[in-house]
Amino acid sequence: MMSEKLAIHGGPKAKTTENYPMYPGGLEIGDEEKRQVLEVLDNQYLFRYYGPANCESKVKRFEQEFAEKMGAKYALATSSCTGALISSLVACGVGPGDEVIVSGYTFFASCAAIVAAKAIPVIAEVDETLTIDPDDIEKKITPATKGILVVHMRGVPCDMDRIMSIAKKHKLVVIEDCAQAVGAMYKGKFVGTFGDCGCFSFQYHKTITAGEGGMIITNDKRLYDRCMSYHDTAACWRPDRFAEQRYEGELFCGSNFRMSELTGAVMLAQLQRLDGLNARMRDHQHRIIEQIKNTKGIKVRPCYDAEGDTGICLMFYLDSKDKVEPFVDALKAEGVNAAGVFNAGIPDWHIYAHWKHVIDKKTPTEVNCPYDCPYHTKAEPVEYAPDMNPNTLEYLGRVVHLDIPPQMSDEDCDMIAKAINKVAAVLA
């Protein structure tokens, strides 16, 4: 049977419908978000701790509902996921002289947060799931290792059984970066609830959004208090902000990562949309995968818990990195938004090889903290190179990536699957 002529060679397009941008919650903003925001403005109650009216804080209510949703005891809203990560690392005792292991495939902020906490990032390999490789975690543990920052990358959960076992064995703290995985699950439990702290993002590209914003969840009251201290250096949250500390380590100088009432108002409405958005994306992803899972020449990205995948994207491997660019170009010609993941010549802050400011150990002052830290005495100096994690670059170099907007229809999904199969028949 002859292959159908590709659109890039003059054949008809497989997908003839419009492509939606990947702003899942952003494109759903409507009356409920407006109602919540107008309530804040009408009450002139713009700051959660005080204002002209005696009103319930939208941020506080969002924290309560988010904690209940995720099955966590405590939730703390922040101005961003980066702020959530920094606050969590500091709360967990990470600081000068410490090393924190993080994967080499994540947005740069995951790594930058470790540096902001005055610790040294140790960049580990990912495995075929494109999440941190537990085997490489063990290889990169030194006497200076304080914790692991695990990233549930592109909507899928890490191997939390292995990771938590390693952490327990070596007495390490675990921070979960769930920025791209709000609502993802691992064996029936929401990500973010396995480690000491879980951190989330509500930036505009994320599933639910207020443009910016973040959240920390934890089951540890002391960690919750310490996150509060760091995220609100003015200590507005304390019953008596001027009182002596209630226990050693409760109060210290921090930053200001507080969430505004307007952001909290939008997020209250967006949280109600989370289950529906994830359900639609999962349905779309499953529909496409069912039609391409047996296609020769491609392999769908594996997952430690496929049912827990949020479905925000579809990623599949080709058997050679040299095939990725022609495959992607052909898919685009078919009307499908697609992209490769790693190209050494195209900077992307999601891939460690492009983190030049870390690789070159750039700092804002001549005091090269934390890399030349006098407290870093338990292990050899940490060195970086663009090719230091070859498995990560090899995996990412062979991947084709497609966003899965929840606004798509079943017809869109079928057209995408048709396009993938059509291109694979010629180029895979």
Let me know if residue 234 belongs to a domain: yes
- Measure the CA–CA gap between 355 and 122, rounded to whole angstroms: 13
Do residues 214 and 249 share a domain? yes
- Nearest 10 degrees: Cα torsion 343, 396, 178, 97: -80
- Measure the CA–CA gap between 274 and 143, rounded to whole angstroms: 41
Do residues 40 and 88 share a domain? yes
Do residues 151 and 86 share a domain? yes
Let me know if residue 351 belongs to a domain: no
- Measure the CA–CA gap between 5 and 253, rounded to whole angstroms: 65
Of 236, 239, 197, 246, nearest in space to 90 by CA? 197
* Active site amino acids: 206
Do residues 175 and 308 share a domain? no
Do residues 212 and 116 share a domain? yes
This model's pTM is above 0.95? yes
Tokens of 160: 């939390």
Last residue of a domain, one of 273, 292, 321: 273
Let me know if residue 381 belongs to a domain: no
Let me know if residue 70 belongs to a domain: yes
| H or E stretch at 315 | strand 313-318
Last residue of a domain, one of 222, 243, 273: 273
Domain carrying residue 159: 31-273
Do residues 157 and 67 share a domain? yes
User: Hey, which residues does 151 pair with through a beta bridge?
Assistant: 177
Q: What is the residue-level pLDDT of the chain in tens, covering all 428 positions? A: 467 999 999 999 999 999 999 999 999 999 999 999 999 999 999 999 988 888 999 999 999 999 999 999 999 999 999 999 999 999 999 999 999 999 999 999 999 999 999 999 999 999 999 999 999 999 999 999 999 999 999 999 999 999 999 999 999 999 999 999 999 999 999 999 999 999 999 999 999 999 999 999 999 999 999 999 999 998 888 888 899 999 999 999 999 999 999 999 999 999 999 999 999 999 999 999 999 999 999 999 999 999 999 999 999 999 999 999 999 999 999 999 999 999 888 889 999 999 999 999 999 999 999 999 999 999 999 999 999 999 999 999 999 999 999 999 999 999 999 999 999 999 99
Of 261, 247, 220, nearest in space to 67 by CA? 220
CATH of the domain at 54: 3.40.640.10
